[in-house]
Amino acid sequence: MAEKERLSRETMAFRVAKEFQDGMVVNLGIGIPTLCVNYPSPDKEILYHTENGALNFGPIATPEDGDLDLVNAGGQLVTTKPGMSLFSHDESFAMIRGGHIDLCVLGAMQVSEKGDLANWLLPERGIGSIGGGMDLAIGAKRLIVVMEHTTKDGQPKILRKCNYELTAPECVDMIVTDLAVIDVAKEGLVLKELAPGWTAAEVQGLTEPRLIVSSDVKEVEIM
């Protein structure tokens, strides 16, 4: 039987961006999170923060237009924007650690039912790069994880307990995957939205901990 269609990376980013509220300070991790910048509705003014020392920077630059002295945390060349500010690394992490970032979006290798996050160390490599993930996971007021629901060989990435090294314990507030939108609540993982064509039972089958199906569970909106 052919595998059912899952949400594209762009649709996942689109769904995450619906959480961005007008006036928020948002930090986007590397990978799918970076795509979110394309989707908040234009009537919202979002201030994007990057760890390497800029707030309210502009869109990705073209290679011809880019400037080696203006990059985001993913190393992409970005552009200037009216109202941009620049600062040192210690200042940038004072912003993060001090609770001045409203929302952070990160990728993940594993998330536990308590909202523990593992996103930096592949055991088979033996060494990884923590980067700013630990600081962001603890420091941001709200943390959304966006990731594929399962590993490349179909194993669940949402687990009772992470078996990879943790980035931070009990830090994830919401999980957006290519199959579902899940809230990390006190009572457990609450299944709020499903990818079109998928049932709660099917998603549960690819998730290790028990999911609490929300009484108003609905379909993820497609772009």
For another protein, the binding residues (CB under 8 A) are 30, 50-54, 63, 66-72, 75-77, 80, 84, 86-90, 92-93, 96-97, 116, 122, 124-135, 138-139, 165-170
* Closest to another protein by CB, 18 or 81: 81
User: Nearest distance from residue 188's CB to another protein, in Å?
Assistant: 20
Q: How far is the CB of 66 from another protein (least distance, A)?
A: 6
Minimal distance, residue 201 CB to another protein, in Å: 33
Nearer to another protein, 45 or 170 (CB): 170
Active-site choice (3, 5, 45, 51): 51
Task: Name the residue nearer to another protein (CB basis): 126 or 205.
Answer: 126
Could you give the CA distance from residue 184 to residue 169 in angstroms, rounded to a whole number?
13
CA distance 147 to 110: 9
Residue closer to another protein by CB (options 11, 27) is 27
Is 45 a residue of the active site? no
CB of 98 to another protein, least distance (A): 10
Phi, psi of 15, rounded to the nearest 5 degrees: -65, -45
Catalytic residues: 51
